[in-house]
Amino acid sequence: MKKELLYLSQADVKAVGLSMTEIIKALEIAFRDKGEGKTEVPPKPGIHPGGSDNFIHAMPAYIPSMKAAGVKWVSGYVNNYRRNLPYITGLLILNDVETGIPTSIMDCVWITAMRTGAATALSARYLARPESSVVGILGCGVQGRTNLEALKVLFLLKRVMAYDIDPEAAARYAQEMEKRFDVEVIHASTPREAVGGCDIIVTAGPILKKPHRTIQANWIDEGAFASLVDFDSYWHPNALRMISKFCTDDTAQLLHYKSIGYFEEIPAVYADLGELVAGKKPGRENSAEKTMAVNLGLAIDDMAVAPLIYRKALEMGVGSRLPL
Ligand SMILES: NC(=O)c1ccc[n+]([C@@H]2O[C@H](COP(=O)([O-])OP(=O)(O)OC[C@H]3O[C@@H](n4cnc5c(N)ncnc54)[C@H](O)[C@@H]3O)[C@@H](O)[C@H]2O)c1
């Protein structure tokens, strides 16, 4: 029998037009299944060509209820910007769960950007105050954009405080996001301005093994929720100690990173996202708690989304067929 797979370029993946709402919904199913012990998501192995700040990770996952199985092979190269190349690049392979046969190869950049924002929003659904309306974004790049897009799906946002170490990046972001999402976006000139007074804070600058500890304990308002897309790089340990519910997407993965030198001074993990979504542990319980999610990124995020893209692409006739 002649076997074929569907190849989807980055443009094809985008052209399929999966919405952030659909992506958040898919992640919710995946994390509920994870919380109920129904997924397979082994810790990601990595290689580090050219130094430990670069990575290429293999991220396999199986989500039975979504008939999703496959692997993402994703790289992050810290100096790519010097060559005018993106930080994150990579591919994702989907397999047929019945036969194991590869059905699709697709670019994973768009999926990575979107699912990471969706993971923030999903965490916020359980950990932020439902009436949250002011968001602080520190790091106005790809993640700064998709995290805001995802939060906009679940919260009635009024104002965004946007800070970037590069003022031009923050100004571009403010202009673009204001137009796109019809919210007021204020270009914050210091990190403190983008933290104080916010209901939700997203830090999305570079990941550092040794945090620069900029955000201090007394900057965070009562009742705030923070999503640390860039690990604990931005946070002073005293600020982390003020958090009543410190959560992550996978406790084993966080502890693994701790064992190799990251997260030296973090509080104990209260719950992982699967436990929150499956109702095994309560999320926010009052309006005063300060809560936090450090989602390091899990293969089930990607594997929840990729089959939806594959199926829509088949329906729409998007992509190129390649012989196996
Ligand atoms: N947790 C996850 O699942 C996950 C997934 C993808 C990316 N990430 C991480 O998210 C971070 C952002 O990724 P991206 O794709 O948006 O990168 P990006 O290069 O598109 O954007 C990063 C932005 O941060 C700015 N910046 C640099 N230092 C800063 C500082 N100290 N304060 C404020 N802004 C600063 C840069 O000027 C840039 O605008 C990276 O650390 C990346 O590793 C995490």
Q: Kindly give the number of the ligand 1 atom that is closest to the alpha carbon of 144.
A: 16
Ligand 1 centroid – CA 37 distance (Å):
31
* Mean of pLDDT values over 250-255: 95
Band (246; pLDDT cuts 50, 70, 90): very high
Q: Is the pLDDT of residue 210 over 90?
A: no
* Mean of pLDDT values over 293-304: 98
Which has the closest alpha carbon to 310: 96, 142, 41?
A: 96
Q: Whose CA is nearest to atom 32 of ligand 1?
A: 165
Ligand 1 centroid – CA 204 distance (Å):
4
Which has the closest alpha carbon to 199: 221, 227, 228, 174?
A: 221
* Predicted TM-score of the model (pTM): 0.97
CA distance 170 to 150: 19
* Mean of pLDDT over the chain: 96
Q: Whose CA is nearest to atom 15 of ligand 1?
A: 142
Residue in the structure block whose two tokens are 């089959």: 307
* Mean of pLDDT values over 213-223: 97
Ligand 1 centroid – CA 114 distance (Å):
14
CA distance 281 to 45: 29
Ligand 1 centroid – CA 168 distance (Å):
15
Tell me the sheet residues that pair with 286.
Answer: none
Band (2; pLDDT cuts 50, 70, 90): low
Band (43; pLDDT cuts 50, 70, 90): confident
Pocket of ligand 1 (CB under 6 A): 76, 87-88, 112, 116, 138-144, 163-166, 169, 204-207, 229-230, 295-297
Contact between 136 and 194 under an 8 Å Cβ cutoff? The reply is: yes
Catalytic residues: 72
**pLDDT > 70 fraction of the chain, expressed in percent and rounded:** 99
Which has the closest alpha carbon to 72: 269, 300, 228?
A: 300
Which has the closest alpha carbon to 89: 116, 113, 59, 121?
A: 113
Ligand 1 centroid – CA 178 distance (Å):
20
Ligand 1 pocket test target in 23, 116, 164 with most atoms within 8 Å of CB? 164
pLDDT of residue 51: 82
Q: Is the pLDDT of residue 52 over 80?
A: no
* Mean of pLDDT values over 140-147: 97
CA distance 302 to 298: 7
pLDDT of residue 1: 60
pLDDT of residue 105: 98
- The H-assigned helical ranges of the chain are 10-16, 20-35, 109-127, 142-154, 167-181, 237-241, 251-259, 273-277, 299-316
Ligand 1 pocket test target in 229, 235, 302, 305 with most atoms within 8 Å of CB? 229
pLDDT of residue 118: 98
Q: Convert the pLDDT of each residue in 71-114 to its tens digit.
A: 999 999 988 989 999 989 999 999 999 999 999 999 999 999 99
pLDDT of residue 208: 85
* Mean of pLDDT values over 283-305: 98
Q: Whose CA is nearest to atom 25 of ligand 1?
A: 139
CA pseudo-torsion sign 122, 126, 131, 132: negative
**pLDDT > 90 fraction of the chain, expressed in percent and rounded:** 93
